[in-house]
A and B are shown apart, each in its own frame.
Chain A
Amino acid sequence: MAYVAIADRDHEEHLHDPQTFITKYIWSQDHKVIAIQYSLIAIFVGVVALVLSGMMRLQLAFPDSFDFIVPADYYQFITMHGMIMVIYLLTALFLGGFGNYLIPLMVGSRDMVFPFMNMLSVWVYLLSVIILLASFFVTGGPTGAGWTLYPPQAILEGTPGATNSGTSWGILLMLVSLAVFIVAFTMGGLNYVTTVLQARCNGMTLMRMPLSVWGIFIATILGLLAFPALLVSAIMMALDSLIGTSFFMPAILEAGEQTEYGGGSPVLFQHLFWFFGHPEVYIVALPAFGLVSDILACHARKNIFGYRQMVWAIVAIGGLSFIVWAHHMYVSGMNPYFGFFFATTTLIIAVPTAIKVYNWILTLYQGNIHLRVPMLFCIGFIFTFIHGGLTGLFLGNVVVDLPLSDTYFVVGHFHMVMGVSPVLVVFAAIYHWYPKISGKMYNETLGKWHFWLTFLGTYSIYLPMHYLGILGLPRRYYSYGDTAFIPDSAQSMNVGITYAALIVAVVQILFFINMFWSTFKGKKSEPNPWGATTLEWQTEKHPPEHGNWGDSLPVVYRWAYDYSVPGEDRDFIPQNEPAAGHAEGFDPENPHDGPHHA
């Protein structure tokens, strides 16, 4: 089919022009400001969750030493810690933060397609965070049902946060906050997807998009299709709790008394939750995969190895992630025959993921590796991700999951793969794009200290946890009491883990100091300090202003990875640079040259 020209839509965009401080920085419709608002809110709640994890570790290392951590508190802490980290920190930061900042810049668009809705998204997100945090201040406190919120437990007495009389505000606020978050996410997510699909600049084909955009794009689609399951289960649970329907509630006792419930299915909730929950873990993994690919290529001065496979791997992982959910339910009491199917699909995911890992490493091979801070974080990511991914294979193989499910092995797995790897990527990305966002350079030495302590610290937190899990320590235990098979050495290990965790938590101060100090006192940065090829580094102004591109949109002539092209003096060619000799033309010999629809 021939290429049909589409009228340049530039004239149609009503870019909302910021006038005052308020419209510029508060009610801003500029995707870059929105991105920063998203990120700041996310990092703020992230720090809350980090503090909670510190308290959890204190309890685990020194049981019975802290009056302010009784069992109810502990379970409330893990619930809020898990939920905040997964949803309100990582999902929001990767999609709302990096997605907002990078998508329009990387695909060469002036803004998101619906800036007003984008602005609403961040404020609704803030609302959801406020509702969530409000649950710390209601009677009974936040819910302590675990971040999985399994009913019947979540809405019955005996669960921290559930009060014996009147409304259990903890669980209710959690459900409402999630619903509000989903609304915020949907408004943002529709924007990201539509922008990627419909608002790229001339020459920017899908297969020329940087992998960051691919990762965020597919993750957003996963979100748009997976969050509905969470929304529905939240609605059903809220009805069970408030007006006494029995969707998830069979005939049961509550605190020794018969209840009115009957006929519902607790396993239904688990199916719905994990139909959301498993894609959710890839929602936080895929953007990390994307960002890390771009940062690696840039600092290794080498094209990402196997770009096409990388794209297809992202798409395949995204697709497969919808048919593996029940690997979280191997021991849930569902029909055990499902185990065969879900174990197979789960292990199949290892193949596209493995391709990604190989390609990252092969990108380093024969590269010209600059070990700057972002690069260090990326290497740390590869290492911890391999570790965490491989432990995932234990859990995915249904019989191996039998002894390990619900033990610290699982906790080790998911922190390695989600609590460490993507967080390392977050840091890599913040350092990498910091010059673009702020116009200043960060402090390299501080950054290196931050990397070393965080990387080594987190690895020493989570490596031992796997072995405690193999020994049989169950997760979500306030304390272990006297258990014959648990030797004292396990408790000593827990103390060690706690020290590591506290150190890592404190070390994050270095990061914040670095960011703050550099914003005001940092060296001014070049417009393209890393010599990167992607469009965001080629803006007219540095940092880019509202509207991104000045008078005219960029035109893209090549893929995003023209690093160290043979015969070129520089070791990179920006995407918007026509190849020498073919100014506007298209060289059929060179697949990376020229807008192919010219």
Chain B
Amino acid sequence: MAIAVVVILLVVGSVVFHLASPWWFTPLASNWGTIDATVDITFWVTGIVFVLANLFMAWCIIKYRSKKGQKANYEPENKKLEIWLTAITTVGVAAMLAPGLIVWGQFVNVPENAMVVEAVGQQWNWNYRYPGKDGELGEVDPKLIAPENPFGISPDDPNGQDDVLVFSQEMRLPLGEPVKLLMRSKDVLHNFAVPQFRVKMDIVPGMVTYQWFQTTRTGRYEILCEELCGVGHHVMRGVVIVDTPDEYQTWLNSQSTFADTVAARNVDLDAGKMAYAPCAACHGASGEGNKLLNAPKLAGLDDRYMKRQMDNYRSGVRGGDTADILGMQMRAMVSTLPTARDVNNVIGYINTLPITSSAATISGDIERGKEIYQTCKACHGPNGEGIWVMGAPRQAKMDDWYILAQLKNFKSGLRGSHEDDWYGGQMVQMAQMLSNDQEMNDLIAYINTL
């Protein structure tokens, strides 16, 4: 008896939960209202079945629970009833399936006029590529992917020269334009999902997959990777910013093309050396760092990482928080390098400085530190050498006091909590796993042994 009452309560409770749930689809930002409509139809059909079937069962239990002298009815089957039930079910299924297939037909057929954009997934971040003025994406070959050519664009294909490359995690799209998003992966499976757009698709290495949508609202929408891709799967985030077409165009024009990135590789080391002079005051003539001045070692950092930090300082993504006093100092210094060219030259010069070991200043339980480092090594490499695709800088042989300070900054959110600090955001999540200072010391003590 109790069970019948409970079943009724659960049915009512589930319906109430459904109606009252604050957790529902995020407000739609694309043309896929038809998907929402299909979901609604499905909810109605299944909801009715759910309620009717369970209430009938509860009624049976109440009515036919065992009583003295009661005997069950002997009824092996009832053809007519079964045929009716089968027919009704078939109708219900068709009512859900038919609209579903029609909408799927729309999803499969991309409109002719859709603009093409490419998203490239890698462990555990995003890059994007827009066709340049010619409107065509250049040929790519996974075998060409390397630190100098992260997209693997074929240098011989003229179509590729003007491709716009976006190294940040942020992509922009013009409002209202249908977009055919091509997707490529450098390493493992990933998935490009924006909940507000409703659609998603896996990214498969060795293939180019696609999805299409048309944005309907300006705004900032998170991109989630929804295919397990290793330890960093949950921190693989990006952002789509939907702009008015004008703003979009301005942004697009400010991005560098493939040809630009090739050109940026020719650095002027002499100019770099000159420009490095002010830096040397704090960071040391050979980039060895200076603890007294809180200036970290630079020699050994890879150029993409340094470039990104410079850009972050410049835009205030890093050091923009007034509580970050040292960061604010560095922010002021970056202005001594006004152009991208200057930055490239300096970084080119720093790259020539010798990598030596820094003196250890922190001690701790190395064994425990090694355990903790198992998480870090996925990005920073088993020997702390840093891995370029992951945007993870070198740890081994760097200043341990600086690593400690940064871990604390990440943990407290002083660094990495700006919404455009993508990799910093990942580090915030990682640093939060270190529950106390002792763990940080243990970890760093281990890094010192690398």
Contacts and interface: CB of A to CB of B under 8 A. Distances in A.
Interface in A351-373: 351, 354-355, 357-358, 361-362, 364-371
A400 B24 CA distance: 14
Contacts of B6: 456
B273 interface: no
Contact of A264 (B3, B32, B206): B206
Interface in B1-22: 1, 3, 6-7, 10, 14, 17-18, 21-22
B293 interface: no
A157 B230 CA distance: 8
B231 A402 contact: no
A365 B108 contact: no
Given A368-B72, A393-B46, A480-B234, A307 B425 contact: no
A546 interface: no
A256 B374 contact: no
B96 A397 contact: yes
Interface stretch (A124-132, A330-338, A521-529): A330-338
Nearest to B21: A467
A302 interface: yes
Contact of A347 (B39, B93, B375): B93
A331 B191 contact: yes
Given A64-B432, A402-B107, A253 B96 contact: no
Interface string A37-65: 00000000000000000000000000111
Nearest to A566: B74
B44 to A, nearest CB: 12
A493 to B, nearest CB: 7
Contacts of A254: 187
B103 interface: yes
B277 interface: no
Interface string A397-435: 111101101110000000000000000000000000000
Interface string A143-164: 0111010101100111110001
B305 to A, nearest CB: 13
Interface in A464-510: 464, 467-468, 470-472, 474-485, 487, 489-490, 493
A383 interface: yes
Contacts of B71: 301, 368, 564, 571
A387 B185 CA distance: 37
Contacts, number: 360
Given A158-B378, A403-B35, A479-B429, A390 B74 contact: no
Contact of A366 (B54, B72, B77): B72
B195 A333 contact: no
A258 to B, nearest CB: 7
Nearest to A467: B23
Contact of A565 (B74, B220, B233, B375): B74
A337 to B, nearest CB: 6
Interface stretch (B62-70, B307-315, B323-331): B62-70
Interface string B201-233: 111111101000000000010101111111111
A63 B433 CA distance: 8
B74 A358 contact: no
Nearest to B107: A399
Interface residues of A, number: 123
B251 interface: no
Interface stretch (A7-15, A28-36, A66-74): A66-74
Given A64-B432, A350-B89, A477 B234 contact: yes
B362 interface: no
A405 B187 contact: no
A164 B61 contact: no
A252 to B, nearest CB: 5
A366 B64 contact: yes
A463 interface: yes
Contact of B188 (A153, A468, A472, A592): A153
Contact of A265 (B56, B206, B235): B206
A253 B234 contact: no
A130 to B, nearest CB: 25
Given A258-B143, A339-B108, A351-B93, A333 B207 contact: yes
B101 interface: yes
B285 interface: no
B304 to A, nearest CB: 11
Contact of B198 (A152, A263, A403): A403
A309 interface: yes
A165 B382 CA distance: 9
Contact of A564 (B74, B85, B372): B74
A288 interface: no
A449 interface: no
Contacts of A355: 82, 85-86, 89
B35 A303 contact: no
Given A351-B86, A390-B49, A383 B78 contact: no
Contacts of A275: none
A253 B187 contact: yes
Interface stretch (B254-262, B340-348, B386-394, B395-403): B386-394
B73 A302 contact: yes
B375 A70 contact: yes
Given A252-B205, A479-B234, A367 B35 contact: no
Given A398-B104, A474-B193, A250 B206 contact: yes
B17 A463 contact: yes
Contacts of A407: 226
Contacts of B97: 343-344, 347, 397
B72 A344 contact: no
B222 A144 contact: no
Contacts of A160: 230-231
A253 to B, nearest CB: 5
B361 interface: no
Given A158-B187, A366-B64, A379-B57, 7 more contacts: A251-B143, A333-B207, A364-B64, A379-B3, A463-B17, A483-B222, A490-B23
Interface of A: 63-65, 67, 70-72, 75, 144-146, 148, 150, 152-153, 156-160, 164-165, 250-256, 258, 263-267, 300-303, 305-309, 331-333, 336-337, 339-340, 343-344, 347-348, 350-351, 354-355, 357-358, 361-362, 364-371, 376, 379-380, 382-383, 386-387, 390-391, 393-394, 397-400, 402-403, 405-407, 456, 459, 463-464, 467-468, 470-472, 474-485, 487, 489-490, 493, 561, 563-566, 571, 592
17 contacts: A70-B375, A157-B378, A158-B230, A159-B188, A252-B206, A305-B77, A306-B77, A336-B104, A357-B53, A367-B64, A369-B66, A370-B66, A379-B7, A382-B57, A390-B50, A399-B100, A405-B226
The 3 closest A-B pairs by CB, nearest first: A250-B206, A472-B195, A333-B209
